[in-house]
Amino acid sequence: MQNHTMSAITAVVLAAFLGYAGAWYTGVIEGNFALLLLLAVVVTGVYWVLERLVFLPQRRQAAQHLVDEHNARKAALQQQGFSQIEGDVATAQQKLLMQPWWLDWTAGLFPVILAVFVLRSFLFEPFKIPSGSMIPTLRVGDLILVNKFHYGVRLPVINTKVIANNEPQRGDVMVFRYPPQPSLDYIKRVVGVPGDEVAYLNKQLTVNGQLVAKQPQPEFFDQDSMRYAKSFREQLGGRTYNTLNDDERPAFVPGASEFPFRENCKYTVEGVTCKVPPGHYFMMGDNRDNSLDSRYWGFVPEANIVGKAFFVWMNFGDLGRIGSFE
């Protein structure tokens, strides 16, 4: 009876998980993988505890009871003069000790799900680059690793920092929750930290009145768009990286939205100048004329930080991309 009840309950729970994943995949709802993984840890963890404290002892007791009954019957038959006693109690015992399917798919998966949860939430999380806003540093299709503890340890789902560590520095490549839609993760380069005045005028970056020098590089050929773009080498915060510019794009910022602290920014035909408020960061893509970044949607709050990107671990279209981009 207990087996049938738990089997039905588990089927409903697994169906709920599959339904959520299916609705997320088809776009019916806006999914939250961190929440889904946390729920999976809790549910499978409950089954794992019950298996250790309740279900496994029950199966062992039933198996031992079967062995005791067999031995008692065997002893009684031997007393009656029977020497050949048939019956394979070992096979029946093994069947009783086996986990039912509903424990295989819950308690059996708990150690793996827990390991993934800890690794992804507190150590390293993989991401895939979906767009060309960070070309040439990162290419479309790059699979990258993000250090989740570099900027401090945060609780999953609610993203609250519980242990402080390093502060974001100019030049860092950082993953963060997109301020207008926090369920989306974005990746850009930090160009302004709290208190900085960042200006991008006539396609020239200035931080706190200091011109960020850029040296011309050979033109970059984008295989996706089949176009050449002007490439420059910049140095910011002790980090050296390449950026791209498109001469066909204007210097002014078209279509900037309303955002918190927008009064800190001044838009002109030459570009934009912003004063970064406390607890916020100004982000830009390395593909300067093909990046929707802080120039368009504003500053990134400290609470939205996910981690520091540092390594390309795979690109199936170009294995030469594997390696650090720090």
| 314 and 170 in a common domain | yes
**Which residues span the domain enclosing 283?**
129-324
Profile the chain (326 residues) by mean pLDDT over runs of 10 residues. 84 91 84 89 95 91 84 78 68 86 93 94 92 93 94 90 94 96 94 97 95 93 82 93 91 92 96 97 96 96 95 89 86
Let me know: does 313 contact 125? Beta carbons within 8 Å: no
Q: The dihedral of CA 287, 291, 297, 302: what is its sign?
A: negative
Which of 91, 117, 143 terminates a domain? The answer is 117
| 244 and 137 in a common domain | yes
Let me know: does 241 contact 234? Beta carbons within 8 Å: yes
| 94 and 226 in a common domain | no
| 316 and 194 in a common domain | yes
Residue of 309, 132, 322 whose CA lies nearest to 221: 132
Per-residue model confidence (pLDDT) at position 138: 95
- Active-site residue, from 83, 95, 128, 133: 133
Q: Token pair for residue 82?
A: 């029977």
Per-residue model confidence (pLDDT) at position 62: 86
* Active site annotation includes 188: yes
**Model pTM?**
0.84
- Region class of 252: left (phi > 0), else alpha (psi between -120 and 50), else beta: beta
Which of 83, 117, 151 terminates a domain? The answer is 117
| 188 and 96 in a common domain | no
Burial letters for 280-318: b for 16+ Cβ neighbours within 10 Å, e otherwise? bbbbbbbbbbbbebbbebbbbbbebbbbbbbbbebbeee
d(CA 224, CA 295) in angstroms, rounded, equals: 25
| 150 and 113 in a common domain | no
Q: The dihedral of CA 67, 68, 70, 74: what is its sign?
A: positive
* Active site annotation includes 133: yes
- Active-site residue, from 188, 203, 214, 308: 188
User: 136: cis peptide before it, omega within 30°?
Assistant: yes
Per-residue model confidence (pLDDT) at position 32: 84
196-198-203 Cα angle (round to 5): 160
| 154 and 251 in a common domain | yes
Per-residue model confidence (pLDDT) at position 86: 64
Residue of 30, 311, 314 whose CA lies nearest to 177: 30
